[in-house]
Amino acid sequence: MKFNGLVVLGIVASLAVGCTQKEPPVPQVAEPTPTPIASANPSSDTVSGTFVTGEKTTQGIVSVVTEGDKRYLELDEAFETGSGPDVFVLLHRESEPKSYQDADYLNLGELQNTNGTQRYEIPAGTNPDEFGSVVIWCRQFNATFGYAPLSQ
């Protein structure tokens, strides 16, 4: 019986020592931090405007910038609007949009986010001077959340 007791004692001691060993440290990986969209060498003929509240509180500044042979519409970090379904960013021919016929606007795509810096590519061959404003528009309810009259 002494032998069995020693075996049990040896097993318990081995387990106790084995359980007290530290696990190897897990390397910590830094979480990526979002970087704001910055214009690299925007052209000096930047078109911009400040948002005016429509049916939802909308604020911030929008700019049309040129980089190389491409143009982009940029919403600044102060941009903020309400949420809703089917919301789009438009270039509208009028500085204060009142109607939304297909010929009145150019749809740049769905709103990416209700706040913060965003960028939308303007199709090649589009002349921003032909448009009077940028509009945040809910197509489903034909609601103008806000608009920014454009000026140079």
The CA distance from 7 to 1, in Å, is 10
For the chain, the C-alpha Rg in angstroms (whole number) is 29
SS3 content of the chain, % helix, strand, coil (to 5): 15, 35, 50
* pLDDT value of residue 50: 98
Type of residue at 131: F
The CA distance from 111 to 51, in Å, is 15
Average pLDDT, the chain: 82
The CA distance from 60 to 117, in Å, is 10
Q: What percent of the chain has pLDDT over 70?
A: 70
Strands (E), 41-126: 47-50, 52-53, 61-67, 70-75, 87-92, 105-110, 118-122
Q: Is the model's pLDDT at 80 over the cut of 60?
A: yes
Confidence of residue 2 (pLDDT cuts 50, 70, 90): low
37-47 pLDDT per residue, tens:
444 444 445 79
Type of residue at 28: Q
Lowest mean pLDDT among 38-52, 80-94, 127-141: 38-52
The CA distance from 92 to 14, in Å, is 77
**How far does CA 61 lie from the centroid of its chain?**
15
Burial status of residue 58 (CB atoms within 10 A of its CB: 0-12, 13-18, 19 or more):
buried
